[in-house]
Amino acid sequence: LAECFQQSTTGAVAAKRIEQNADSDCTDVLSEIRTPTLVLHRVNDPIHPLELSRDMAARIPDARLVTLPGTAHLAAFGDPDSVIEAVDAFLGDRKAAEEAEAMAAPPSAFRTVLFTDIVGHTEMMARLGDAKGREVLREHEEITRDVLRAHGGTEVKTMGDGFMASFTSVVKAVDCAIALQRAFAERSQSAPEPLQVRVGLNAGEPIEEDSPDGRTDLFGETVILASRIAGAAQAGEVLASVAVRELCAGKGFLFADAGAHAMRGFEDRVRVFAVKWQE
């Protein structure tokens, strides 16, 4: 491949192209992409930090970020098997999601938005190394997707170490959050590498944008607040907004006042409630 590159251009032309790419910034048009997108990032990429890929995936509607082991800047180099595995999983998950959506209830503007996040993800990857760390992340993804499917949740996107999902039923969303914590708690009892997640919930009418394949990405204050609430949660905790608590009145859930928190982007402090999930 290197020989092919050498024969197809000159050093001056290659340098010019690198210089042009360095000056290019497509950030403002990422939100206009309508094709389902898979973003791959080697965790030890020597050129671009993971934060750039996180930001890219967050800006592209219906995008998924998958971290891969290795140091190659170009994801297709170094370990093609991990790239093939990630692409196969991406395409397979989309087919399963389409089948689930075909059986779902008629769409409604109202959604309960759920965010999850692995606690200590960066430290875990540094401790375990690329290959073993990716194995743990893969197990996390399988557990999360199984629980989402079992509770009628729709995976909106994944950001490498966390998920964003939506529900047409607030009760199913809270049930799912509880089931997630119980599933990871059960796994941690016997697994050599425990996994703890935090979960945040909010309900409202987010802005919806349909991609060409019919899947929906969500934007707006409802989504942002759900993300901020998840960020305020501790390991093994489920935090919910006032809206979620009020909509669950009489449904048998136990909520504890977790206080009012200052959250980026919100002028007033936001009161949240911890959902009791331990049996």
CA geometry: angle at 109 spanning 108 and 113, to 5°? Answer: 100
Q: Kindly list the structural domains of the chain, giving each domain's residue range(s) and its CATH number in brackets, ordered by start.
A: 107-275 (3.30.70.1230)
Q: What is the pTM of this model?
A: 0.61
Per-residue pLDDT at 95: 65
- pLDDT tens per residue, range 152-191: 998 988 887 889 999 999 999 999 999 999 999 998 888 8
Most confident of the following: 12-21, 46-55, 94-103, 219-228: 219-228
Residues in Cβ contact with 48 at an 8 Å cutoff, skipping those fewer than 6 apart: 41, 73
- pLDDT tens per residue, range 63-117: 888 888 777 776 556 677 778 888 888 887 666 666 665 555 445 588 999 999 9
Alpha-helical segments (H) within the chain: 2-8, 11-23, 50-59, 80-102, 121-128, 130-150, 170-190, 221-232, 242-247
Band (217; pLDDT cuts 50, 70, 90): confident
226 vs 137: CA distance, rounded Å = 22
